[in-house]
Amino acid sequence: MRSADHLVSDQNYPRLETIRDLLRMITAYPRLGKEAAQSLIDLGDAIKDVASVTEVQGLVAGTLSKDLTVRKAALEALQPVDMTELDYSEEIWIAVHDADEQNAKLALHLWDDNGLDLPETFLSTLPRYLGTWFSLAQ
């Protein structure tokens, strides 16, 4: 992906579709999982300054995957991405409490670096994630 940085920074490149495809590939094709995860991380780095809110949300969605490797790759891909336009991310808040310590640390780093904060109404937004939350805690 590194050699294609200039390509993915072009707004016409299908970045959201690429994000979704790479997230799917990590679990669907175990033999390619490591390469797909690294490509996702490289993509996050390549789009860090030009990512749209929709593309950031595409990466954030990966943090709720039942697959530990997908969650880790999504969190790593988000590390260089500017998420300061988001005041609050339910998904990142949930990832802060991931059962995997490394993923929880990556999520906390994102939370702190991007100045994310809990709104007073955050508890009312979490029930729809209860099934996900229990899956991540196992």
pLDDT in tens, 29-78: 999 999 999 999 999 999 999 999 999 999 999 999 999 999 999 999 99
Determine the pLDDT at residue 5: 63
Is the pLDDT higher at 97 or at 7? 97
Mean pLDDT, residues 10-30 taken together: 93
Rg (CA), the chain: 14
Identify whether the C-beta of residue 59 lies closer than 8 Å to the C-beta of residue 44.
Answer: yes
Please write down the HEC assignment for all residues of the chain: CHHHHHHHCCCCCCHHHHHHHHHHHHHHCHHHHHHHHHHHHHHHHHCCCCCCHHHHHHHHHHHHCCCHHHHHHHHHHHCCCCCCCCCCCHHHHHHHCCCCHHHHHHHHHHHHHCCCCCCCCHHHHCHHHHHHHHHHHC
Question: Cβ atoms within 10 A of the Cβ of 130, count?
Answer: 9
| 49 Cβ contact list (under 8 Å, min separation 6) | 9, 82
Whether residue 138 has pLDDT greater than 70: no
Percent of the chain whose predicted confidence (pLDDT) is above 70 = 80
Determine the pLDDT at residue 20: 97
Q: How confident is the model at residue 130 (pLDDT cuts 50, 70, 90)?
A: low
pTM: 0.85
Torsion angle defined by CA atoms of residues 40, 43, 47 and 51, in that order, rounded to the nearest 10 degrees: -30
Determine the pLDDT at residue 44: 96
Nearest to 59 by CA among 80, 77, 47: 77
